[in-house]
């Protein structure tokens, strides 16, 4: 039975400082690294073994994936995680000269399509101070609604419009093969994915919250249909 494991990255240093992060490449905090370790232990204790992993291009997502895959060796089996860089990158460093070994390695694919929602002019601002300036209702609308964009930024709808095509073109193929897939990404890119998987309507989005470091598991049948959803709290 195919499984999809969604994991919002652990707390970042800007999460801890209550700042809008978006595309700013901020690493995990000590707590965030611990959250990724706990997620690894939870998956190990439930007997999950990952076949392939996808992350965004942002370090907090990549850190979470690597910690989750390496803190408890059992979830990789005998395989070693290897980050598969895009060979179209101008700084490719010869990454495309090594195709990998499916039997000995676990590929980690990175993609901008899974990056956090772009918060535009809000990036780097304190959330509480921003609410004081623009009003709590307006900031809540920017953060939680489906179609409202923060100044210069993306809406969740915009984010979904890049996440779902990538899911359909890259991730779903592994699900159809019956594999166990880990996606370590961000609150909003994963909200977009959950919205599609759970068939949620836009008016249900404001109440959708994903906790950092808590795995969400979807079981699929051999046709790629969701059978069950489990949250490892």
- Rounded to an integer, the average pLDDT of 147-164 is 97
Q: The whole model's pTM is what? A: 0.94
Binding residues are 8-15, 21-22, 60, 116-119, 127, 143-144, 187-188
- In this prediction, residue 88 carries a pLDDT of 62
Whether 136 is catalytic is: no
Whether 9 is catalytic is: yes
Binding residues for substrate are 8-15, 21-22, 60, 116-119, 127, 143-144, 187-188
218 to 51, 87, 108, 197, 225: CA distances (angstroms): 15, 31, 19, 9, 10
Q: What's the mean pLDDT when you consider all of the chain?
A: 94
- In this prediction, residue 84 carries a pLDDT of 87
* Domain spanning 2-231: CATH superfamily: Phosphoglycerate mutase-like (3.40.50.1240)
- In this prediction, residue 90 carries a pLDDT of 62
Whether the predicted pLDDT of 96 surpasses 70: no
Among residues 35, 63, 116, 154, the one annotated as catalytic is 116
Whether the predicted pLDDT of 99 surpasses 90: no
- Rounded to an integer, the average pLDDT of 164-171 is 96
- Rounded to an integer, the average pLDDT of 213-219 is 98
């Amino acid at each position: 039975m195919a499984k999809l494991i969604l994991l919002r990255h652990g707390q970042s240093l800007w999460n801890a400082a209550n700042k809008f992060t978006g595309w700013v490449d901020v690493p995990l905090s000590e707590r965030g690294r611990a959250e990724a370790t706990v997620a690894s232990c939870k998956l190990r204790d439930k007997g999950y073994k990952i076949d392939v992993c996808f992350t965004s291009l942002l370090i907090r997502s990549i850190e979470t994936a690597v910690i989750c895959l390496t803190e408890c060796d059992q979830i990789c089996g005998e395989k070693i995680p290897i980050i598969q860089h895009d060979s179209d990158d101008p700084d490719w460093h010869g990454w495309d000269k090594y195709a990998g070994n499916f039997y000995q390695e676990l590929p980690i694919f990175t993609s901008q399509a899974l990056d956090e929602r772009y918060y535009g002019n809000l990036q780097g601002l304190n959330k509480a101070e921003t609410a004081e300036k623009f009003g709590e209702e307006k900031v809540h609308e920017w953060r939680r609604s489906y179609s409202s964009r923060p100044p210069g930024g993306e809406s969740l709808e915009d984010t979904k419009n890049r996440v779902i095509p990538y899911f359909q073109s890259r991730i779903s193929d592994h699900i159809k093969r019956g594999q166990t897939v880990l996606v370590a990404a961000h609150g909003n890119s994963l909200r977009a994915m959950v919205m599609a998987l759970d068939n949620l309507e836009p008016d249900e989005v404001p109440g959708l919250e994903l906790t950092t470091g808590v795995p969400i598991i979807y079981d699929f049948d051999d046709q790629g249909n969701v059978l069950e959803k489990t949250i490892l709290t």
